[in-house]
Structure 1
Amino acid sequence: MHKSILSLLICLFAIASLSAQIEPQPIVHPDTPREVKEGGPIMQFESTTVDYGTINKNSEPLRTLSFTNTGDEPLVIKSAKGSCGCTVPTFPREPIMPGESSVIEIRYSTNRLGKINKTVKITTNEGTQPHILKVVGNILDTQEEESVPKSAPSMLSGGN
């Protein structure tokens, strides 16, 4: 009995010690202002929102976001991750020199219907906070529109 209790206490102590070593990752909301540091690379976007607007199912899935390195050191994008598998970013692998511009491509699976409300997290060498890009829009089913019968001209509307 004492050995069981002792074993349990040792396990609990080990788990508590290990969990204390893990640093919690801050939750960054897309609208949270980013810290700006002096010097170094600075990633400046023309817009932080990719707006697909209202599109039909299976429409062109690719959009781009332009950005410029307004800092004084090369900008390196370390990672770009979509909030789900339906949102896939592609980013330049080479450093973006000060004053130069480039683009991040966002590919969204337009075979899904309904509202788009996703994010893309961009991590760079400029600081600790990632850039959070919004992906928004609405996808309509083209079959629904085609299946609605067209009404015949009416005498009341003057034949129009």
Structure 2
Amino acid sequence: MKTNFLILFLSITSIFYAQKISKLEFDSNSKDYGTLKYGEHAQCEFYITNTGKENVVIKSLKSNSRNIEFKLDDSLIKPGQKIKLVVIYNTENPDSIRKTITVFTDAKPSVYTLSLKGRVLPKP
């Protein structure tokens, strides 16, 4: 009985430690563009670091706005590696900027949310 318990315990422990340990850290979870002129180039950067022990893949990036374009250094982030996510906002639509970017990964947690804010002035 004790032998069966020990075997079960070791099996569960092995499975637990064999699981993927991956984690991402962002330099910031929000950026403020401030007040932008109509047509002005608006770009910000988020830095993403893999602080885990396994590779992390960024599967996709989504936004709640058609005015946002992404540029990502690489979708594969090795342990200890830092990559840059560039976010470009189209300022040809005057309005308040209250937008979110959702980052889908194979890390734990697998979904990260970033936010943008600011204001675009009307066309002069």
**Pair in the same fold by TM > 0.5:** yes
Q: Is 1:124 matched up with 2:109?
A: no
Amino acid at match of 1:87: I
Deviation at 1:93, TM superposition (A): 3.6
TM-score (norm. length: structure 2): 0.76
Q: Look up the SS of the partner of 2:66 in the other structure.
A: coil
Deviation at 1:128, TM superposition (A): 5.3
Would you say the 8 A contact 2:73–2:85 is kept in 1?
yes
Q: Is 1:41 matched up with 2:15?
A: no
List alignment gaps of at least 5 residues for structure 2.
1-18
Structure-2 separation of matches of 1:85 and 1:94: 21
Structure-1 separation of matches of 2:47 and 2:106: 18
Deviation at 1:56, TM superposition (A): 0.9
Deviation at 1:41, TM superposition (A): 1.9
1:67-119 alpha-carbon deviations (Å, 9 max, x no partner): 11111111110000111211222324442111110111111111111210011
Would you say the 8 A contact 1:45–1:67 is kept in 2?
yes
Of structures 1 and 2, the one scoring higher in RCO (CA 8 A, sep 6+) is: 2
TM-score (norm. length: structure 1): 0.60
Deviation at 1:54, TM superposition (A): 1.1
List alignment gaps of at least 5 residues for structure 1.
1-37, 144-160
Name the structure 2 match of 1:139.
120
Structure-2 separation of matches of 1:104 and 1:68: 11
Structure 1 residues 94 and 80: CA distance shift in structure 2, 3 A:
closer
**Structure number, greater radius of gyration:** 1
Name the structure 1 match of 2:40.
59
**Aligned pairs, number:** 106
Query: Percent identity of the aligned residues?
Result: 26
1:11-160 alignment, distance < 5 Å: 40-127=21-108, 129-141=110-122, 143=124
The CA RMSD over aligned residues, in Å, is: 1.8
